[in-house]
Amino acid sequence: MLQGAYTAMVTPFKAGAVDFDRLRDNVQFQIDHGIDGLVPVGTTGESPTLSHAEHGQVIEATVNAAAGRVPVIAGTGSNSTDEALSLTRHAKSVGADMALMVNPYYNKPTQEGLYRHFMTVADEVGLPIVLYNIPGRTNITMAPQTVARLAEHEKIVAVKEATGSLDIASEIASLCDITIISGDDSLTLPLMSIGGKGVISVLSNLMPAAIKQLVEAGLSGDFAAARERHLKLFAMCKGCLTLATNPIPIKTAMKLVGADTGELRLPLCEMDEPAAAALETLLQDQKLLSP
């Protein structure tokens, strides 16, 4: 069963190129701090700005650096079914354990189109698939009924729920037994209260042990301890997703603590000064940065 704390990995850049040395260091940092799995080239990994070659190289480098110690769920989604097939086949060929597939964006398929898109990849590639429902990025919401239809396929094993709606997550849980994983750090605990099994986290790039502790408490049924950790992390979780577009805040935070260059690729750019100052305060509150 897919459960636990997984990190939606940033893609490190240095002088405009992918920094594979830093990527390997980041993988090691995550494993050293007990993370349950790694998710490269998703939203946080700036996948829209990577070339197809870079996309494949980042997945392969992450798989190689993980070396079987934790599972790798490779981002392989696209608004083109043919392209999603190609990316997912490549991920399988280099040893990824699962594929994270976002709803097709921009072309706004119908629910039937969404169903056929994911079923085609599941049928033709055979790599376990985690659906990724994030309407804020794709302008399309996969209906709970569509998720339930897809869950009948043995290779569609989970949904990363990033709609921000507990109603949608609750309806999915009422219709089928697909594994629900939070796609928003601030909603990990609320989703676990209705049966969610963990999170694909942005903040765990910086604080993997803290995110793991929250999830472990929830999975063990110790919701008092989970609530305490949730409230302690809540402002930091919200800041990473609201001070600027993800992954701008998390990459800035990693730069401030010396864990990344902080480089982004256009059209993403650096934070403005008030937002950066607010982020510094959050890091100080978490004792990750001295005043």
Task: Quickly count: other Cβ atoms within 10 Å of residue 177's Cβ.
Answer: 10
What is the rounded average pLDDT for all residues in the chain? 97
Given 92, 160, 197, 212, which residue is catalytic?
A: 160
- Among 51, 50, 71, 53, smallest CA distance to 62 is for 71
Q: How far apart are CA 2 and CA 182, in angstroms?
A: 12
Average pLDDT over residues 84-111: 97
pLDDT of residue 175: 98
Average pLDDT over residues 249-269: 96
Q: How far apart are CA 251 and CA 266, in angstroms?
A: 14
Active site residue 160: yes
- 255, 262 contact by CB (below 8 A): yes
Domain architecture of the chain: domains with CATH: 4-220 (3.20.20.70)
Distances (CA, A) of 171 to 130, 131, 179, 279, 291: 18, 16, 13, 35, 45
User: For the segment 26-77, what is each residue's pLDDT rounded down to a tens digit?
Assistant: 999 999 999 999 999 999 999 999 999 999 999 999 999 999 999 999 999 9
The answer on pLDDT for 291 being more than 80 is no
Percent of the chain exceeding pLDDT 90 equals 99
Q: How far apart are CA 196 and CA 62, in angstroms?
A: 26
Paired tokens of 224: 């008092």
pLDDT of residue 122: 98
Given 132, 197, 212, 251, which residue is catalytic?
A: 132
Active site residue 6: no
pLDDT of residue 257: 95
Average pLDDT over residues 246-254: 98
Percent of the chain exceeding pLDDT 70 equals 100
- Among 262, 264, 210, smallest CA distance to 233 is for 210
User: For the segment 135-146, what is each residue's pLDDT rounded down to a tens digit?
Assistant: 999 999 999 999
